[in-house]
Amino acid sequence: MGRPITLFTGQWADLPFTEVCKLASEWGYDGLEIACSGDHFEVDRALSEPDYVPNRLQLLADHGLKVWAISNHLTGQAVCDDPIDERHQAIIPSRVWGDGDAEGVRQRAAADMADTARAARLLGVDTVIGFTGSKIWKYVAMFPPVSQAVIDDGYEDFARRWNPILDVFDDVGVRFAHEVHPSEIAYDYWTTKRALEAVGNRPAFGLNWDPSHFVWQDLDPVGFILDFADRIYHVDCKDTRKRFDGRNGRLGSHLAWADPRRGWDFVSVGHGDVPWEDCFRALNAIGYAGPISVEWEDAGMDRLRGAAEAVTYLREHLFDRPSTAFDAAFSNQK
C-alpha cells in the first residue's frame, strides 16, 4: 500500500503526545495527523523554541512514525464565527481568547492560523487541515427571513479574513485543507463551490475530504471527490450511521451523541453507511497519493478498541491503482 495510514490526534488531546505516539505505533499506524491541541503541537512554542520541532520529530521517529499534515481546527473556527462566546473559550488557547472581545479573538485566531502555516513548514509538512468558522451558519434555517445581501456579506467576510492568512500559506509553501463541515462557511456541495469562488479559487485553499459529514446530509461522497479532484488535499476517514425511522431527525434534535433517538451518529470506520470501496476507487481515479487519516469519533465504542480496529479495517480495504491494465495481457504487441 503506497498511501500511509495516520491517526488524527484531535480526539486524543487529553493524553500526552508521548502516549498517543506509543499507542499509534503499537496499533500499526504509519504516522500521525497532529492536532494543535493539548500538548501535541503548540504553534507558539514551535516558533519560539529552537528545540521544540526537532524534539517532536525525534519523538515520532522513536516510535517509527512520520507526519504529513497537522491540523488546527479549533483556532480556525474562531476566525469567522459570529457570535464568539464561551464555546470558543473552551476550545482555543488562552493566548488567542485574550480578554474575550469578539473581534480581538477573531484577529488573534487569524494571526495564529498564519503562524500555523509557518510552524508546519518548520515541521516539514505542506498541509494544514482546519475549519474556517462562518458568520452566516446561524442563518442555515433561513428564518426569520435572511436577505441575499446578508449571505453575500458572509462570503465576503470569509474572503476578507482568510485571504491574508492564505497569503502566508503561499509565502511558506503550505496549503490549507478546509474540512467541509456543518457550522463552516463550506458545509455541503454548493457552499463549497461558493467558498472556493470567494477566495478566487486560489490553490492555497483546498479541501479535507471527510465523508462522515456528507452521508447524513444525503450528499454523494464519491461524486464530491470526482468533482473537486484538484482540491482534495487531505483525507480523513470517519463513518456515519443513519437511522431515519420517521422519528429520529436529520438535525439531531439536540440529543447527545450515541442517544438512540438521534437520526445519525458518527461511528468507527466500517460501522456506518459510507461506501468505502467506491470512495477508495474514486480517490485512486483522481490520483490521490496522500495520507489516509483515521479521525476516530464513536460515542458508542471504546476508543482504544475503535482506533486499533480502524487501522486494521483500512489495511484490509485500501488498494492501489493497478500498475497495468488488466486487458494489456490480451495484446499481441511486444
Residue range 193-250, pLDDT digits in tens: 999 999 999 999 999 999 999 999 999 999 999 999 999 999 999 999 999 999 999 9
DSSP letters spanning 172-199? HT-EEEEE--TTSS--SHHHHHHHHHHT
The three cell numbers locating residue 4: 500511509
pLDDT of residue 211: 98
Instruction: Assess if residue 227 is contained within a domain.
Output: yes
**Cβ neighbours around 223 below 10 Å, total:** 13
Residue range 49-104, pLDDT digits in tens: 999 999 999 999 999 999 999 999 999 999 999 999 999 999 999 999 999 999 99
Residue 252 pLDDT > 80: yes
Q: Are 3 and 66 in contact (CB under 8 A)?
A: no
The residue segments making up the domain with residue 52 are 5-324
Q: What is the pLDDT of residue 319?
A: 87
The Cα 303–Cα 318 span in angstroms is 22
Predicted TM-score (pTM) of the model is 0.96
Residue tagged 492501489 (cell numbers): 320
**Range from 29-43, 225-239, 319-333 carrying the lowest mean pLDDT:** 319-333
With respect to residue 70, please indicate whether it lies within any of the assigned structural domains.
Answer: yes
- Count, in order, helices (H) and strands (E) of the chain: 13, 10
In a domain? residue 334: no
Is residue 205 within a helix (H) or strand (E), and if so which, with residue range? strand 205-209
Q: Is the peptide bond before 211 cis (omega within 30 degrees of 0)?
A: no
Q: How far apart are CA 288 and CA 92, in angstroms?
A: 32
Tens-digit pLDDT profile for residues 278-313 = 999 999 999 999 999 999 999 999 999 999 999 999
Q: Can you read off the three cell numbers belonging to residue 73?
A: 481546527
Mean pLDDT rounded to a whole number for the chain = 96
Q: What φ, ψ does residue 44 adopt, rounded to 5°?
A: -65, -40
Do the strands 292-294 and 31-35 form a parallel or antiparallel pair, or are they unpaired?
unpaired
Which CATH number fits the domain that encloses residue 63?
Answer: 3.20.20.150
- Using the predicted structure, report yes or no on whether residue 332 has a pLDDT greater than 90: no
Query: Into how many domains does the chain fold?
Result: 1
pLDDT band at 331 (very low <50, low <70, confident <90, very high): low
Instruction: Confirm whether 205 is domain-assigned.
Output: yes
Residue 333 located in a structural domain: no
DSSP assignment letter at 208: E
Nearest-5° Cα angle at 23, 233 to 315: 55
Backbone angles phi, psi at 302, to 5 degrees: -65, 135
Average pLDDT on 123-152 reads 98
What was the pLDDT predicted at 175?
Answer: 98
Residue 332 lies in a domain: no
Burial class (CB in 10 A: 0-12, 13-18, 19+), 260: exposed
Domain membership of residue 77 (yes or no) is yes
Query: Is 331 inside any structural domain?
Result: no
